[in-house]
C-alpha cells in the first residue's frame, strides 16, 4: 500500500515538473508576449505540494497505527483436548490463525481440537 502511495506522489511530482518546464519553454519562446499566470494555475501550484505533504502524513500515520496495533500484547490461553491448559503472551501481529509465536520466540502450532482464548493484556 505504501508503495502505491509513493508511486502516486511520484506521478504528481512528474506532472508538476513537466507543466513547469512546458511553461518555461513557452515563456522563452515568446519573451515579448508575457502574460501573467492564470489564477487556476497559481492555485494548483500552491495546492499540489500541500496535497503531497498531506498524503504522505496520512500514509505515515496509517502505517504507524498498523504497526502500533501489531505490537499490542495478548494473553492466549490454549486448552488441549486432554484438558491441559497453557498460557502464552503473544504480540497481535504474531497471532496467525492456528499458529502463534510467543514473545520469547517459541513457535506454537495448534491442532483443530485445541480451544483458544485471546485476551488483551492491560
Q: Are residues 110 and 51 in the same domain?
A: no
Of 118, 114, 117, the C-alpha closest to 81 is 114
pLDDT tens-digit map of 85-121? 999 999 999 999 889 999 999 999 999 999 999 999 8
Which cell numbers in the block locate residue 46?
A: 500552491
Q: Are residues 84 and 55 in the same domain?
A: no
Q: Which domain holds residue 102?
A: 73-120
Domain-ending residue, one of 40, 55, 70: 70
pLDDT tens-digit map of 9-46? 888 888 888 888 777 666 555 554 565 667 767 777 87
| Stated pTM of the model | 0.57
Q: Are residues 104 and 115 in the same domain?
A: yes
Amino acid at each position: 500500500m505504501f508503495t502505491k502511495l509513493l508511486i502516486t506522489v511520484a506521478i504528481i511530482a512528474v506532472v508538476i515538473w513537466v507543466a513547469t518546464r512546458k511553461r518555461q519553454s513557452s515563456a522563452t519562446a515568446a519573451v515579448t508576449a508575457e502574460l501573467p499566470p492564470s489564477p487556476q494555475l497559481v492555485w494548483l501550484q500552491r495546492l499540489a505540494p500541500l496535497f503531497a505533504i498531506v498524503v504522505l502524513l496520512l500514509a505515515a500515520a496509517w502505517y504507524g497505527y498498523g504497526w502500533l496495533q501489531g505490537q499490542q500484547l495478548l494473553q492466549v490461553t490454549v486448552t488441549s483436548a486432554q484438558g491441559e491448559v497453557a498460557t502464552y503472551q503473544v504480540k497481535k501481529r504474531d497471532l496467525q490463525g492456528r499458529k502463534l509465536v510467543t514473545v520469547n520466540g517459541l513457535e506454537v502450532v495448534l491442532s483443530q481440537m485445541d480451544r483458544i482464548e485471546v485476551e488483551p493484556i492491560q
